[in-house]
Structure formats: C-alpha cells, structure tokens
C-alpha cells in the first residue's frame, strides 16, 4: 500500500508532517467579524485529527469585505486577537500543526445570506458592497459601489497590513 499521503512534504520553507491539509470552510458563526467559542472548539477538533495544517476560513480585511454578517474579520486589533486565539488553540490541540489564514474580500458578492444567496436584509446588518464596477453578480444581490482608483489602493493596503500591529 502506498503511504505517500502520510509522508512529510516541504512547500518552499513550509515543512508539513504529512500531506493532509484542512481547506478553508465558512462556518457562518462570527458576530461582527469576531471569533466565538464555536471557532475555538471547531479548529481544536480539526487540528487534533492528525492533519499537517488547518486553514482558517475566509477572514475579511475590512468590514464590508465579509461574505456575510457571520464571517470572521481581521481589520482591527480586537478581531486580530480573536484570530490569534484560534492559532493558539490549534497549536495547543496538536503537535506540529501549521496554520494557514485565508484573508479575503468578498467584493460584489458580500453582504449576502448563506441561506438565501441574496443580499442580507437591513435588519440583519446589510452593508454597501464595493467592486471594480457597479454591476451586481445576479438579480437578488444589491448593486455594489464602483471603486475609485484611490479606493482600490486602500484595499490593497488592507491586505498588506500587519494584523498584530495594524500598520
């Protein structure tokens, strides 16, 4: 039997104990971008499963970059500290498990409900989405604000920020 799946692998400078990596999966459990106890338990369970790495779900670099109101964020120190708690939980749950963070901006597909795949109602915290053009991805989704070049540069900077120092 071939055991290549369980053999170590090196990707650049990243050394993995095996080739099992948990992909990012939206859990829709955050509140205002904040990590909840659910996340700590969820990622601890995944880390203890024998995998080499766990990918933390899509984490928005700005409040309007979330897919839904229930997505994680990393746009300020308070939210970054929550992500740090997940990382610590993963490292405390299993030996030699690497952590990958999927940083994201949903663009025109943001402010959506996972249940209906349409724009979230104002009562649930909908926000104005942004995109390179004012074109909706489909009928049930609001038209995004068309970004100016200077605004695009601000979003590029948001991806480059150090989440601990938020420089």
Residues 88-141 pLDDT 10s? 999 999 999 999 999 999 999 999 988 887 889 888 889 999 999 999 988 878
The whole-number pLDDT of residue 54 equals: 98
166 within some domain: no
- 153 found inside a domain: yes
Task: Answer for the pair 27, 41: CB distance below 8 angstroms, yes or no.
Answer: no
- % of the chain beyond a pLDDT of 70: 96
Number of separate domains in the chain: 1
Phi and psi at 91, nearest 5°, equal -65, -30
Whether the predicted pLDDT of 162 surpasses 80: no
Residue 165 lies in a domain: no
**Sign of the dihedral defined by the CA atoms of residues 84, 90, 93, 95, in that order:** negative
Q: Convert the pLDDT of each residue in 32-41 to its tens digit.
A: 999 999 999 9
Residue 148, domain member (yes or no) = yes
Structural domain including 63 reads: 4-160
The answer as to whether 25 is a domain residue is yes
**pLDDT(167) > 60:** no
Evaluate whether residue 19 is within a structural domain: yes
**pTM higher than 0.85:** yes
Is 167 a member of any domain?
Answer: no
Instruction: Report how far residue 47's alpha carbon sits from residue 95's, in angstroms, rounded to the nearest whole number.
Output: 9
- Supply angle C-alpha 145, 146, 152, rounded to 5: 110
Q: Is the dihedral of CA 45, 49, 50, 51 positive or negative?
A: negative
User: Over 50: is that where the pLDDT of 22 sits?
Assistant: yes
CATH number at residue 73: 3.20.20.70
Residue 38 lies inside a defined structural domain of this protein: yes
């Amino acid at each position: 039997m071939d055991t290549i799946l369980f053999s170590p692998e090196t990707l650049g400078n990243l050394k993995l104990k095996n080739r099992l990596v948990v992909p990012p999966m939206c859990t829709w459990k955050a509140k205002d971008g904040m990590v909840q106890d659910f996340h700590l338990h969820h990622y601890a369970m995944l880390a203890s499963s024998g995998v080499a790495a766990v990918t933390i779900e899509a984490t928005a670099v700005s409040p309007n970059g979330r897919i839904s109101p229930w997505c994680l964020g990393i746009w300020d120190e308070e939210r970054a500290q929550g992500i740090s708690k997940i990382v610590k939980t993963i490292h405390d749950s299993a030996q030699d498990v690497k952590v990958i963070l999927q940083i994201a901006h949903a663009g025109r597909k943001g402010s959506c409900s996972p249940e209906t795949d349409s724009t979230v109602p104002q009562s649930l915290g909908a926000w104005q989405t942004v995109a390179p053009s004012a074109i909706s991805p489909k009928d049930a989704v609001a038209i995004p604000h068309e970004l100016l070049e200077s605004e695009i540069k601000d979003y590029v900077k948001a991806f480059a920020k150090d989440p601990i120092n938020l420089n």
